[in-house]
Amino acid sequence: MADQAPDSIQRNLTLPKHIGFIMDGNGRWASGHGLQREDGHKYGVDSIENLIQHMSDVGIQYVTLYAFSTENWNRPKSEVTSIFSLLRSTLSNKLERLIEANIQVRHIGNLKGINNTTRIAIERAIDATISNTGMTVIVAINYGGRKEIVDAVKTIIAADIKPEEITETTIEEHLYTSSIPHPDLIIRTGGEFRTSNFLLWQSAYSEYYITNTLWPDFTVEHLKQAILSYQTRQRRFGRVKSDED
């Protein structure tokens, strides 16, 4: 069945336009292999490239990677330092391949709270791929869904928009993701059933796929199963099933 998945995904069934990833389980994976948590993050990064390539090949248009949340600052300083070092090196080392693959890089989150060298690496990747027209990869770094909504409200207030003029569209226009479609599918590895402050506004009608597989072990085959699961679901957006109309 897995061998048939690429053709089924690509040709026969509706694809999610936007997939979000909560990449959980790096630390547990490292502990299970007798390694440091930092090593788990390194192996986790190794999982990303093949997944990105496959999603680009089958026609996924947007991918959001939850790389570092506003809550992750509470982790040990050595781990945070290691994560940002890994983010910098990955963005730098993979930049030419992203350009060749026609992939555009975008960022959501608060750049002001990030150290200067990491911020420069993020901005360089964004600038170098801004004209690319293929898949868009959004990297959520120093991102929190609640903070995003608070920032949107502050921007609306600063724009002196009258309360009676504020609609859902107004709020969406002031989110970090204002020009990005909502995620159709959110994949969470590591088996936990929670949103972890990820795209809270945007995921109101997203389909979730939870797998016990830890992120460093998540492969293209797991991705195919997640997409096929999505394709069997009927998205109703509050409506009843079509056969109940």
Which one is catalytic: 72, 110, 132, 197? 72
**Which pair of structure tokens corresponds to residue 48?**
């990303």
| Calpha distance 176→107 (Å, rounded) | 9
Reduced to 3 states, what is the DSSP secondary structure of residue 64? strand
Beta strands in the chain (DSSP E): 18-22, 62-69, 104-108, 136-143, 185-188, 207-210
Q: Which domains does the chain have, with CATH numbers?
A: 2-229 (3.40.1180.10)
Across the range 135-159, mean pLDDT stands at: 98
Q: What is the pLDDT of residue 3?
A: 38
Q: What is the pLDDT of residue 177?
A: 98
Q: What is the pLDDT of residue 2?
A: 37
Reduced to 3 states, what is the DSSP secondary structure of residue 94? coil
Q: Are residues 41 and 83 in contact, defined by beta-carbon separation less than 8 angstroms?
A: yes
**Which pair of structure tokens corresponds to residue 198?**
């990820």
Reduced to 3 states, what is the DSSP secondary structure of residue 210? strand
Q: What is the pLDDT of residues 19-49, one digit of tens each?
A: 999 999 999 999 999 999 999 999 999 989 9
Q: What is the pLDDT of residue 82?
A: 95
Composition of the chain by helix, strand, coil, percent to 5: 50, 15, 35
pTM of this prediction? 0.91
* pLDDT of 6 above 50: no
72 flagged as catalytic = yes
* pLDDT of 238 above 80: no
Which one is catalytic: 3, 12, 24, 243? 24
* pLDDT of 207 above 90: yes
Q: What is the pLDDT of residue 66?
A: 98
The neighbour count for residue 51, using CB atoms within 10 Å, is: 21
* pLDDT of 57 above 90: yes
Looking from the CA of 230 toward its CB, the CA atoms found within 13 Å total: 28
* pLDDT of 135 above 70: yes
Looking from the CA of 238 toward its CB, the CA atoms found within 13 Å total: 2
The single-letter DSSP state of residue 69 is E
| Calpha distance 165→112 (Å, rounded) | 30
Q: What is the pLDDT of residue 237?
A: 62
Please list the residues that pair with 76 across neighbouring strands. Answer: none
Q: What is the pLDDT of residues 61-116, one digit of tens each?
A: 999 999 999 999 999 999 999 999 999 999 999 999 999 999 999 999 999 889 99
What would you report as the CA-atom Rg of the chain, rounded to the nearest whole angstrom? 19
* pLDDT of 11 above 70: no
Q: What is the pLDDT of residue 113?
A: 86
132 flagged as catalytic = no
Q: What is the pLDDT of residue 243?
A: 58
Q: What is the pLDDT of residue 234?
A: 78
**CA 217-28-79 angle, 5° bins:** 105
Across the range 204-229, mean pLDDT stands at: 97
Report how far apart, in Å, the C-alpha atoms of 48 and of each of 62, 125, 198, 218, 227 are.
14, 16, 18, 9, 16
